[in-house]
Structure 1
Amino acid sequence: MLKQIKVLMVDDEERFRETTSTLLKKRGFITTIAASGEAAIEVIKKTPQDVVILDIRMGGMDGHEALAEIKRISPATEVIMLTGHGTPDSAAKALTKDAFDYLNKPCDIDLLAMKIQDAYTAQKIGKKQRDKKVSDVMLGIDVYSTITMDATVKEAMEKLNLSFRSSIASSRLMETGHRSLLIFDNTNKEPVGILSIMDLLKAVRPAYLSAPKPSTADSMQYSSMFWDGLFYTQTKAMANKKVKDFMGDMPPMIDEETNLMEVANLMVTTGLRRLIVKKDGRVTGIIREQDLFFEMANIIL
């Protein structure tokens, strides 16, 4: 994200309001919160906002009434309607009243962030479509999980586990955990590789399972007794080993200004699911296959 976008989060449910604001701040947005339509109007009168995230069903002034008033006093402000109570009729009503878009809860936080970016772009360049750049959809490095190459597998597992445990998954909002760690050198400045869940699964297998078999053993099958307890003992044995012994190769680095079709082509031809993003030689983020999927869904749906 090249420019910090000012976002007003309007919802009468405090926990959802605070959680969403925190997650959007982590993704580089400048967020303000309001507990009602009336409060949102007062905020916009004092401090212009780029994008408003507006719940439809609230006490007092509901979302449709607030939308009409927001567009009256600040026509350029884009509004995204977000609700768990909506129906197709409610969505149509919102869009005909000049809402930029309408999202049902639960809503993935990355999808919401992408819609905010789209709304801001539409505000600045109108409805003319353009191919997005990596910077429009990537996940910032300050949000992604990282660790140094001399850290232990146990420490890496703790980081990945925390990523999943701290994710939000409720009826109102969803945030998925990271499926890999970006590995840095011991100065914590230069990336040297990726440690994915698949890398950990490969590491837990005994080496002899990957060794060439004699031709006479082509049809050999291991008994259930052979497998019993093996996963546990192998996993325990790797806990204090170094991440650098198991990490995958360094993915290609691409610039923030790279076109998304170029990214898609690179992922397909290399078989990689994530690429490292840089700007002026400095790592600034990660772009993942799901980031491209959300943009494809945004175009089609």
Structure 2
Amino acid sequence: MRERSAGMEEEKGIQVLIVDDEDRFRVTTAATLKKRGFAVKAAASGIEAIEELKKSEVDVVILDIKMPSMDGHQTLRELKKLKPNLEVIMLTGYGSLGSALADRRRGVFAFLTKPCSIDFLAERIEEAFAKKKGVPEYSRRARDIMVPFFALMSRVRADQSVAEAVDVVLQFFDEPFREGKPHDSLHRPILVTDEEERVIGVISFSDLLRALQEPCAGLMEKDSLSSHSIYLEASSYVGGFATMVRENASRTVRGLLPPKPTTIDENAELMEATEKILSLKVTNLLVVDQNVPVGVLREKDLFLEMAKIIKDHQMEPQATPKAGLEGVCPSLFDTMKTTHVR
């Protein structure tokens, strides 16, 4: 784990508030973080957390989502009312994409799945504190904008058929209407696991459609030999879609996966992720931590981050232009090279 800088933070310690109804986890984590030099307070419920925040200085909150009475989502809203700039890290073994994205919009610094290593948690606390103290916002990385696995509800086994995969995905199509936006389901990647439930890849709706294109491409090539056209005649398409769907329904999901999944390290800069998606012509990247998959980074996530950066930049006070190059805003390219996302 990185060494924290000397000075006031070292003497006083980063003020951390752990909010979790599980006694064993709360007590053990608090004791371990104290040994790392953090100043730790603990609360067993959302109500206790609110009262603690009213009377104490808190830099970073570690908040469990699954709690009785007042859950983590409700607690987050109340804490943010008291201190809008409070940095919050949410811990959970549960969750959904809709609720995770909603909490992200409320200013959650990071989502971590329980259990996680104390080193990893401590690093996230330090990063959240650094952001609070004014370290540039654009120091975020792939792990900070990825969709964690707990938020991805659609999972299929590699040995299942395309028909079974479609059925699994359809079960979650109504979920966005309850927790998110109706169109969110169209952007959800589908996790592919092996027989031991280990993630081995990720597919999208485009991959399911691409399965129809391969045999169709063969027909197009055959037709082009005689017609000197790379396209089929309109009459040749009649009933073709339904035919291809039926023929591919029994194909295994494993056949849709590339020989090797397209991965990116969780610490990768966002410009690296962007270049990888564009150069490899993929829509999703499997995010790995020491070769272990931990989440999915979508082109949609990069677009949303781009929109956020633009919005934040527009809200910043503009410097008065000076003669020559002084006071001139850096180019978008330079900004992208020197920034990353949480």
User: If the TM-score is normalised by the length of the shorter chain, which range does it land in?
Assistant: 0.5 to 0.7
CA distance in 2, matches of 1:233, 1:215: 23
Distance in 2 (alpha carbons) for counterparts of 1:271 and 1:237? 26
Structure 2 stretches lacking a partner, 5+ long: 1-15, 21-42, 64-74, 89-97, 111-124, 312-342
Q: 1:216 to 1:280 in 2, by over 3 A?
A: closer
Offset at 1:230? 2.9
Tell me what 1:113 maps to: 104
C-alpha RMSD over aligned residues = 4.1
Residue 233 of structure 2 is aligned to residue 222 of structure 1: yes
For residue 211 of structure 1, give the secondary structure of its aligned residue in structure 2. helix
User: TM-score, normalized by length of structure 2?
Assistant: 0.53
Query: C-alpha separation between the residues in 2 aligned to 1:5 and 1:168?
Result: 33
Q: Distance in 1 between matches of 2:148 and 2:165?
A: 20
| Contact 1:194–1:250 under 8 Å retained in 2 | no
Q: 1:184 aligned to 2:184?
A: no
* 1:198 to 2:189 alignment: no
TM normalised by structure 1 equals: 0.59
Q: How many residues align?
A: 227
In structure 1, which of residues 228, 232, 240 is the aligned counterpart of residue 242 of structure 2? Answer: 232
In structure 2, what residue type is equivalent to 1:195? I
How much does 1:251 deviate? 3.4
8 Å Cα contact 2:159/2:254 also seen in 1? yes
Distance 1:41 1:31, change over 3 A: closer
Q: Which residue of 2 aligns with 1:135?
A: 143
Give the alignment partner of residue 161 of structure 1, picking from 159, 165, 170.
170
**Cα distance change on mapping 1:180 and 1:149 into 2, 3 Å:** same
Distance 1:53 1:188 in 2: 32
The answer to which of 239-248 and 205-214 deviates more is 205-214
2:86 pairs, out of 69, 72, 77, with 77
Letter of the aligned partner of 1:150 in structure 2?
D
Q: Following TM superposition, by how much is the alpha carbon of 1:201 offset from its aligned partner in structure 2, in angstroms?
A: 1.8
**Residue 41 of structure 1: CA displacement?**
5.1
Identity, in percent, stands at 26
* C-alpha separation in 2, matches of 1:183 and 1:229: 30
- Taking a change above 3 Å as real, the CA distance of residues 212 and 233 of structure 1, as seen in their structure-2 partners, is closer
**Stretch of structure 1 that moved more, 143-152 or 202-211:** 202-211
Residue 174 of structure 1 is aligned with which of 181, 200, 203?
181
Report the CA distance between 1:228 and its aligned residue.
3.3
In structure 2, do the counterparts of structure 1 residues 241 and 31 end up closer, same or farther at CA, with 3 Å as the change threshold?
A: farther
Q: Which has the higher helix share?
A: 2
One-letter code of the match for 1:110?
A: L
3-state DSSP of counterpart to 1:186: coil
Find the aligned partners of 1:76 and 1:243 in 2 and give their Cα distance. 44
Q: Note closer, same or farther for the CA distance 1:215–1:236 as it changes in structure 2 (3 Å cut).
A: closer
Q: Report which stretch shifted further, 42-51 or 238-247.
A: 42-51
Distance apart, 1:238 and its partner CA? 2.5
CA apart distance, 1:241? 2.5
One-letter amino acid of the counterpart of residue 292, structure 2? R
1:76/1:244 Cα in 2 relative to 1: closer, same or farther (>3 Å)? closer
Which residue is equivalent to 1:146?
155
SS in 2 for 1:142: helix
Q: Is the 8 A contact 1:77 1:123 kept in 2?
A: no
Structure-2 separation of matches of 1:271 and 1:142:
26
Amino acid at match of 1:199: D
Offset of residue 174 of structure 1: 2.6
In structure 2, what is the Cα distance between the partners aligned to 1:253 and 1:197?
A: 19
Render the CA deviation track for 1:248-290: whole Å, top value 9, x for unaligned: 4543222211122221222222222211111122111111111
CA distance in 2, matches of 1:212, 1:180: 34
User: How far off its partner does 1:108 sit?
Assistant: 8.8
Question: How has the CA–CA distance of structure 1 residues 184 and 109 changed in structure 2, closer, same or farther, with 3 Å as cutoff?
Answer: closer
